[in-house]
Amino acid sequence: MKKKLAVLGATGSIGKNTVDIIRQNPDDFEPVLFTGNTDREALLRLGREFPGVPLALSGGMGKAGVDGIAYYGKAGLLRAVAECGADIAVNGIAGSAGLEPSLAAIEAGCDVALANKETVVMAGPLVFERAGEKKVNILPVDSEHSAIFHLINAYGRENVDRVFLTASGGPFRTLSTEDLALVGVRDALAHPTWKMGAKISLDSATLANKGLEVIEACRLFNMEPEDITVLIHPQSIVHSMIRLRNNAVYAQLSQPDMRLPIQEALYRPETRPSPFGALDFRGLSLEFAEPDGERFPMLPLAYEAAKRGGLYPLVYNAANEIAAETFFREKIHFLDIARIVRYVMEKDWQGSCLNLETILKTDREARRIAFTLIGDI
């Protein structure tokens, strides 16, 4: 039987890779929803390619149903997720906007293939509680977490005492702090190994992406931040590793192509041939180095947020989103991003993130405080 698939953020990088998998495997998947935000044309193109599949445009306006788009606005997006009848939703929405659609999918009894790491960073405890009650699976799609998920399933969580989370190091891996002060938007978007959306590309340049992933790993795999080691691995071939109590290390390696972790989540527990070639080890050299927290303070700040727990991870994410948007508008410098996040995290953010209202209220408050500092820069 075909799996019914909702593609949230279908017009983005993860979404396009997911649609590619649907195209390659028409006997296995039936799309039941495509969503986009402001990119109406790209969404309508998907509607023409897959006639009859409902479309939701969360950031646009129009008369639902009249122009080929069935749902409009944020409320429309959430309604679409609730009504689409999917077996599994791939959440490739960028940023904090992905949280409520993840929750809507869970409430609808739908498994979630989760690329949107913000869902876990902002509200991991709430999300896992709801998923447990609704008996749905949260399947990580972030390449590192997909790797760790499979390795842990193979070797048993109880045997794992360390996770090595690999990071490409981004486009500024070798720059000095003086040079980092001068980088611009275009430089930050030139990721060396992965082709991704703008926000995650910038986060890879600041290492905020790896910071978010440390928090994501803590919450997904129930680990302490001190049991997670980030390794700079410029080739992006080793997607992550686990170390067992006996000091044996197991790694997952492949070409850097997001279709693999997406496909793994969609076919789980089966494994299917991937659309790209096998690794050729001839001439391949794999390097690993320690990240530099002085040049890239977004990484130690994430560890701090993970250690403090509660609402700190959410605040780290919110402040970083505001800083990133402001950097994209060229109103602040690259090094200001971490300054803004540190400033917002200095406030007291103890509290439980089991309640959506508290989560959304704290998210707004953190953003407001980030703006007060930006106003002074």
Q: Under the rule (CB under 6 A), what is the footprint of ligand NAD? A: 9-15, 36-37, 39, 58-59, 92-94, 97-98, 115-118, 142, 194, 196-198, 200, 258
Nearer to ligand NAD, 34 or 303 (CB): 34
Which residue number is nearest to ligand NAD in terms of Cβ? 12
**Kind of pairing between the strands at 29-36 and 3-8:** parallel
Nearer to Mg ion, 203 or 336 (CB): 203
Residue 1 Cβ vs ligand NAD, minimum distance, rounded to whole Å: 28
117 binds, among Mg ion, ligand NAD, none (CB under 5 to 8 A by kind): ligand NAD
Output the six-digit token pair for 110.
């739908």
Residue 302 Cβ vs ligand NAD, minimum distance, rounded to whole Å: 14
Nearer to ligand NAD, 321 or 336 (CB): 321
Q: How far is CA 237 from CA 209, 251, 255, 364, 373, in A?
A: 17, 10, 6, 38, 39
Which residue number is nearest to Mg ion in terms of Cβ? 142
Residue 143 Cβ vs Mg ion, minimum distance, rounded to whole Å: 5
Residue 64 Cβ vs ligand NAD, minimum distance, rounded to whole Å: 16
Residue 194 Cβ vs ligand NAD, minimum distance, rounded to whole Å: 5
**Residue by residue, what is the 3-state secondary structure of 38-104?**
CCHHHHHHHHHHCCCCCEEECCCCCCCCCCCCCEEHHHHHHHHHHHCCCCEEEECCCHHHHHHHHHH
Nearer to ligand NAD, 148 or 373 (CB): 148
119 binds, among Mg ion, ligand NAD, none (CB under 5 to 8 A by kind): none
3-state percent breakdown (helix, strand, coil) of the chain, nearest 5 = 50, 15, 35
Determine the distance from the C-alpha atom of residue 224 to the mean position of all C-alpha atoms in its chain, rounded to a whole number.
20
- DSSP summary character for residue 289: B
37 binds, among Mg ion, ligand NAD, none (CB under 5 to 8 A by kind): ligand NAD
Residue 257 Cβ vs ligand NAD, minimum distance, rounded to whole Å: 9
Cβ–Cβ contacts within 10 Å for residue 65, how many? 11
